[in-house]
Structure 1
Amino acid sequence: MVYLDFEKPLADIEAKAEELRAMARKGEGAVDVEKEAAALDAKAQQMLGELYASLTPWRKTLVARHADRPHCSDYVQALFTEFTPLAGDRAFGDDHAVMAGLARFNEMPCMVIGHEKGNDTKSRIHHNFGMARPEGYRKAIRLMDMAHRFGLPVITLVDTPGAYPGKGAEERGQSEAIARCTMKCLEIGVPLVSVIIGEGGSGGAVAFATANRIAMLEHSIYSVISPEGCASILWKDAEKMRDAAEALRLTAQDLKKLDVIDRIIPEPIGGAQRDPAAAIAAVGVEIGAMLAELSGMKPADLIRDRREKFRAMGAHALAA
């Protein structure tokens, strides 16, 4: 288990419990070590619940970025069958930061598209840490067109710190690709549902999450910019990221109040990284529920529903 900074007291307790159990396995110690270890387990569970019941926005940011949280590939493997990856944008190349293809969800044919960060150093480099390049967004556009043509619902899984800001990406039209991908989300006449499973960063996330229904895992984040980036711009000091996280309203709870998202998916105590199987199962249930809400709607109604949803964001009534 990789512990975050604010989990250090918890790490000490769990390490002590494991140390006692190791002693028991070796036959060392005259005391009832298993009883002591069980008491430490209970204390750790209580502390875990207290820590995660009152996470600050910055701590939620750290949890959303936790290396052990399940990634797109984990969800695809667990929730979808007959997944057939599709590659390339038919213009430049393939982008390994975007995982996409045909699949079945609960036996229903669909198109699944998501950001993949990778699970270790080698795979993270291969997937560019989930930061898509223009060809990734153009691949998504191509596959959304295919889904529209064959009447397949589109499911997107968002987990990116943002689109890749490198020189090559900018030269190949990064902003244009993101804008066209967002526009394509608004044009397709099939159900489009999105889940933010970790980070939802900037336009790189919006390009996949301009959906009929949007859900967020309880400790995920969704924001126009990272707290560090915001702090660097507003205060010229990246160390003010905690203040920026508060101001950005990037938590699932804040975004639900603002009607930016539709659902919050509860995570296991301690976050999705503590029990990936339970978190993945919960996401599967919510995807099924969101698709059920959209079932039977005509293409024109799906497009209208999506556009009205986003046009209503930020609207407010003027005082008489």
Structure 2
Amino acid sequence: MDIQTLKRSRRFSVAPMLDWTDRHCRVLHRLLTHHSLLFTEMVTTGAIVHGDAERHLRFDPVEQPVALQLGGSDPVDLATACKIAETFGYNEINLNVGCPSDRVQSGRFGACLMAEPDLVADCVKAMRDATSLPVTVKCRIGIDDQDIEESLDRFADKMVEAEVDALYVHARKAWLKGLSPKENRTIPPLEYARVYRLKQRLPHVQMLINGGIETFEQIDEHMQHMDGVMVGRAAYHNPMLMAEVDARLFDDTRAVPDFTQIMASMADYAEGELAKGTRLNNIARHMLGLANGRPGARQFRQIMSVDACKAGAGPEVFARAVAVVEDRAVEEIA
């Protein structure tokens, strides 16, 4: 993918979410949007350099464009991971400087790196030297008692000096002391205006905003100030939101598959994956929100979450779930 097409894809991206945005999830999301940039879960440098790189990095070409998010703070290890990852065909490599979990902090990466902008800059430089792929950073606006005016500017300036290709900014602080990772996603107040000011100060840097974005009304407002939006939980829990993305943000008015077509495509995908040893529930768990707002949505979720876990479950589970929704729709009309 050429750099201009990649930059355009960043107008809408799905946030990297641990245990959620795996390769099965990305296949589903790609059915809904042709252009948006999809992210992997965060993968640590250790898992790639010292573990099973094939298991952590392989993905289906139909998922493209895909960005790999790395977790780490050692420039040498990050450089090595970039060299390995480039061979798998990713479009972008992103460094995680936003995850607030204790496990991540103990490994000296994630949001705690907001306190070490010089180290992060060294990491970005090492990554850029090791790969021809664009290198980006996803960060918070600050951590703990940092002054979000001074510290965020200092951090961003260091990233610019390191020639980062883009910044994804989660518009919340991360409180590393006293809040759980879950609480860090909701309790610290959103400071969108602070991110807007950063973009105004660095207009030449492609900058994408993240945090609490759930509707197209919010997306339209952010697009007045930013180069793009990154949506996380709203895209995951209500995936049909993405069915409108191509038309609204990429001027692509091609018909998007409807609910029934998406379920049929995922059934075909599941059949192939089952033959490789994948369990149906590993695919079905990402699809629970597909019927949101439709008659029969509760039964749909029950079938997809319970029946898909049963021994020997296959694509027929998807067919039963679709039938429930279609039958209820007929009843509503009658």
* Shared fold, TM over 0.5: no
Larger radius of gyration: 1
Tell me which interval the TM-score lies in, with the shorter structure as reference length: 0.3 to 0.5
